[in-house]
Amino acid sequence: MKAEQLAVAGVRRLQPYQPGKPISELERELGLTRIIKLASNENPLGSSPKALAAARSGLSELHLYPDGSGFELKTALAAKLGVDFEQITLGNGSNDVLELAARAFLSAEHAAVFSEHAFAVYPIVTQAVGAQARIAPALRYGHDLDAMAGLVDRNVRVVFIANPNNPTGTWLSREELRRFLGLMPEQVIVVIDEAYFEYVREPDYPNALTWLDQFPNLIVTRTFSKAYGLAGLRVGYAVSSPEVADLLNRVRQPFNVNSLALVAATAALADEDHLARSVHLNGEGLKQLGAAFSQRGLRFIPSAGNFLAVDVGRPAAPVYEALLREGVIVRPIANYGLPNHLRVTIGTLEENGIFLSALDRVLGS
């Protein structure tokens, strides 16, 4: 008997998520000591010192279960975002809430729509529940909302949209996205994944929370993993109508967010200085890398996030491997349908410089 034959059909066909290579793994493999990781869109400034202090003080209570209602974090989020407490669903990272949406709204009779080059978690959570995935071809690397709308019929229950998208960094304007929401039938749940919301500075970029009152079928997801620098603790959230939040909370594990994550995220939310410094540094780094790529004649996709997808003009896998030997971890994105691109997270200005020198050696320019 093969275990695989026992698995449900969606799981048998599932391609597992490929995370960025951890620093410790490269250390073990190559015996390198000076390694920089620009592979997982983590905050190069680290966590807020206030979040770290809160996590430290939480250590004395590790024998207790966390607050399963997430009262303090949800209260702080509600105040900060101007929404009601009942509209928030906490997750073990926002990946968790994306999965809750799939489990609450999709089954083998249903389909989900998303874009080519979109975030890898959408196909995974869709397939895991046995639903059909309908993938719209990208438009200039980004979401083609008309093509996506064209895939929506009676069977579609969920549309996943990343704004900005990972790994491309492309973003949708207020007008485009608002129009798309207006086109969606009421039985379609639209998930707008704003994992990079805090970083975005483009003036036409919308805050999807402002549409929740008009669209009861909208779910907006955000995370503490990126600009808030808490990827290791795993905490994210969804904001929706209270009715949708109630459904998401029914499938949520009662203690899905751990106690250190709850207190650290609450403290991080209050540390506006750290967030502002992180966003500023990211803007500088985007300019630095963008200018350096242009100077080298390398094309890149304009990005609103904390990363850039650069076309290295040849298959990117060997370039990725050679960068590893230089002690620089970036992300190959062939599995996203972009075999000549590497996705580089914006680091500190120094880390960006180290990456560029290594890239020059590797590309021989």
Our finding on whether 93 is near ligand PLP (CB under 6 A) is: yes
Q: Between residues 166 and 352, which has the closer beta carbon with respect to ligand PLP?
A: 166
Among 48, 115, 223, 345, binds ligand PLP (CB under 6 A): 223
Q: Which two tokens stand for residue 123?
A: 């196909």
Residue 32 Cβ vs ligand PLP, minimum distance, rounded to whole Å = 26
Residue 115 found at the interface with ligand PLP (CB under 6 A):
no
In angstroms, the CA 8 to CA 143 distance is 30
Stretch of residues binding ligand PLP (CB under 6 A), selected from 72-80, 87-95, 105-113, 131-139: 87-95
Least distance CB 53 / ligand PLP (angstroms)? 22
Q: Decide whether 70 or 236 has the Cβ nearer to ligand PLP.
A: 236
**Which window, 12-20, 21-29, 137-145, 220-228, contacts ligand PLP (CB under 6 A)?**
220-228
Convert 12-80 into a string of H (helix), E (strand) and C (coil). Answer: HCCCCCCCCCCHHHHHHHHCCCCCEECCCCCCCCCCCHHHHHHHHHHHHHCCCCCCCCCHHHHHHHHHH
| Residue 166 interacting with ligand PLP (CB under 6 A) | yes
Buried b (16+ CB within 10 A) or exposed e, 141-180: bbbebebbbeebeeebbbbbbbbbbbbbbbbbebebbbeb
Q: Applying CB under 6 A, which of residues 43, 48, 95, 241 lies at the interface with ligand PLP?
A: 95
Which stretch in 10-18, 70-78, 225-233, 243-251 sits in contact with ligand PLP by CB under 6 A? 225-233
Radius of gyration of the chain (CA): 20
Q: Are 12 and 116 in contact (CB under 8 A)?
A: no
From 294, 286, 300, 292, select the one nearest 341 (Cα to Cα): 300
Which residues are CB-neighbours of 108 under 8 A, at least 6 positions away?
Answer: 10, 129, 130, 131
Question: In this structure, is the dihedral angle defined by the CA atoms of residues 272, 273, 278 and 282, taken in order, positive or negative?
Answer: positive
Query: Would you count residue 162 as binding ligand PLP (CB under 6 A)?
Result: yes
- Distance in Å, CB of 249 to ligand PLP, minimum: 18
Among 119, 180, 293, 336, binds ligand PLP (CB under 6 A): 119
352 forms part of the interface with ligand PLP (CB under 6 A): no
Residues from 260 through 319 that contact ligand PLP (CB under 6 A): none
Pairwise CA distance, residues 362 & 365, whole Å: 8
Among the listed residues 43, 89, 94, 217, the single contact to ligand PLP using CB under 6 A: 94
| Residue 351 to residue 161: CA distance in whole angstroms | 31
Among 236, 285, 327, 347, binds ligand PLP (CB under 6 A): 236
- Residue 332 touching ligand PLP (CB under 6 A): no
Instruction: Provide the mask over 178-217, with x wherever binding to ligand PLP is found by CB under 6 A and - wherever it is not.
Output: ---------------x-x----------------------
Q: Which residue has the tokens 């209270």?
A: 242
Contacts of 158 (CB under 8 A, 6+ apart): 101, 102, 105, 106, 110, 112, 113, 126, 131, 188, 189, 190, 191
Query: What residues does 329 pair with on adjacent strands?
Result: 37
User: Which residue number, 87 or 345, has a Cβ lying nearer to ligand PLP?
Assistant: 345
Residue nearest to ligand PLP (CB): 93
| Closest distance to ligand PLP from the beta carbon of 260 (Å) | 15
The answer to the question of residue 163 lying near ligand PLP (CB under 6 A) is no
Residues that bind ligand PLP (CB under 6 A): 41, 93-95, 119, 162, 166, 193, 195, 223, 225-226, 231, 236
